[in-house]
Amino acid sequence: MKFRRMSIEVESPEQLGYDSIRNNLAESSYTDALFRELDPGVDLRELVLCYGSHQGHEGLRELIVKGKPLTSGDVLLTIGAAAALFMIATSLLEKGEEMVVVHPNYATNIETPRAIGATIRTIGLRFEEGFALDLDKVRSTVTPNTKYISVTHPHNPTGACLDDAQLKELARIAEEKGIYVLVDETYRDMVFGPQLPLAAEYSPRLISISSLSKTYGLPGLRTGWIVCRDQQLMEILLAAKEQMHICGPVLDEELAYRYMLHRDAHFNRIKADIQEKFNIVKAWMENEAAELWEWVEPRGGCVCFPRMKDPGGIDLDRFYKILLEKYGTYVGPGHWFEMPRHYVRLGFGWPTASALQEGLSALVKSVREAVIAG
């Protein structure tokens, strides 16, 4: 494999230094939680720091599929959703084989297949089409050499969502063609409308992945998972995990388990807060930003992907410089997603409401101040 660093990671807020950003609209998760919020009063001094179960904490795996027609045996814990993506790509693909993936995307969904030397067939999501996934295009892009299709729901960076009919169609395509569909559900708990079943419930050929990073603001726990009913594939993924790190970190998994025992309480608070922040962005888009910015309203998640209305008249380097250096505001530039730089990923779940408001105003001021003279 040939690895290279992705600009979304090189230029990430944590690498830039959180202290150098006042209004951080570049995050794709909910506000980071504090350790004391996890489970007040929890005493972990007697926790045995052994090699844990290779599949992962049994109680946590049970909670992940609680109330669903799935068992803990269908769940494999991973070091964040990132490791899940890596394990799936490296288990399903070899150099010269093909995968189909939506574009734009969270970079790893494309970059790991690229590092393997696979042929990547992209399905473009277009602003003009509401970033909707065209499944006829997906179907016609699959070839006899395709090993899997990779989609994201809700989608990063656009916030577009799949519906029940689309997941059923993806299951049909996978079964007919004898391939897999990876459904990156890292933002699943943040859909605005009614919740669909887990992708893994639709077919053994559908693989769900998710984590505690985004909705729950726990990226530092590095706890993610794969859910899939295909036991043969799960055995291969377990082999990949064992060769990478044997088991997950027992401490992180124990903390994640205790957090998930109180999931509903955390979730209700977080959901209300995300709704409030979404309303701030929507009002901004309809008023202060309307002249300069346009967007496809997200249907889930805590990011959206607006673009400048008249990019030809804007000095984009100056725009980003003014935004950060004068207004202390950071967003995800289009190039993080291999898209033109007049698109920005705007994360509205992470900052406080006042930082969000200030950052949004800065986006308008910075465009005005970066207009090319003449």
Ligand X SMILES: Cc1ncc(COP(=O)(O)O)c(C=O)c1O
Contacting residues toward ligand X, per CB under 6 A: 28, 80-82, 106, 152, 156, 184, 186, 211, 213, 219, 224
Secondary structure element (H or E) that encloses residue 226, with its range = strand 224-227
Within 10 angstroms of residue 50's Cβ, the number of other Cβ atoms is 8
In the block, which residue shows the tokens 């494309």? 110
Nearer to ligand X, 182 or 314 (CB): 182
Instruction: Please state the closest distance from residue 96 (CB atom) to ligand X, in A.
Output: 25
> Chain centroid to CA 261: how far?
23
Nearer to ligand X, 14 or 294 (CB): 14
| Phi then psi dihedrals of residue 352, to 5 deg | -70, 160
Instruction: Please state the closest distance from residue 81 (CB atom) to ligand X, in A.
Output: 3
Instruction: Please state the closest distance from residue 289 (CB atom) to ligand X, in A.
Output: 24
Instruction: Please state the closest distance from residue 210 (CB atom) to ligand X, in A.
Output: 8
Nearer to ligand X, 159 or 359 (CB): 159
Question: Is the C-alpha dihedral spanning 39, 61, 198, 298 positive or negative?
Answer: positive
Nearer to ligand X, 295 or 337 (CB): 337
Rounded CA-CA distance 52/49 in Å is 8
Burial of 275 (0-12, 13-18, 19+ CB in 10 A): exposed
Token pair listed for 369? 């101040």
Instruction: Please state the closest distance from residue 221 (CB atom) to ligand X, in A.
Output: 9
In the block, which residue shows the tokens 């962005």? 281
Nearer to ligand X, 169 or 184 (CB): 184
Nearer to ligand X, 106 or 131 (CB): 106
Instruction: Please state the closest distance from residue 186 (CB atom) to ligand X, in A.
Output: 4
Instruction: Please state the closest distance from residue 211 (CB atom) to ligand X, in A.
Output: 3
Cβ atoms of 137 and 123 closer than 8 Å: yes
Cβ atoms of 207 and 227 closer than 8 Å: yes
Instruction: Please state the closest distance from residue 116 (CB atom) to ligand X, in A.
Output: 18
Give the chain's largest Cα–Cα span.
70
Nearer to ligand X, 221 or 314 (CB): 221
- For residue 149, the one-letter residue type is I
Nearer to ligand X, 114 or 370 (CB): 114
Among candidates 182, 242, 250, 203, which has minimal Cα distance to 222? 250
Instruction: Please state the closest distance from residue 159 (CB atom) to ligand X, in A.
Output: 11
Helix boundaries (H) for 22-73: 35-38, 58-64
**E-only strand ranges, 57-97:** 75-78
Token pair listed for 143? 């070839």
Please tell me whether residue 85 adopts helix, strand or coil conformation: helix
Close Cβ partners of 100 (under 8 Å, ≥ 6 residues apart): 121, 122, 123, 138, 141, 142, 146, 148, 149, 150
Nearer to ligand X, 186 or 329 (CB): 186
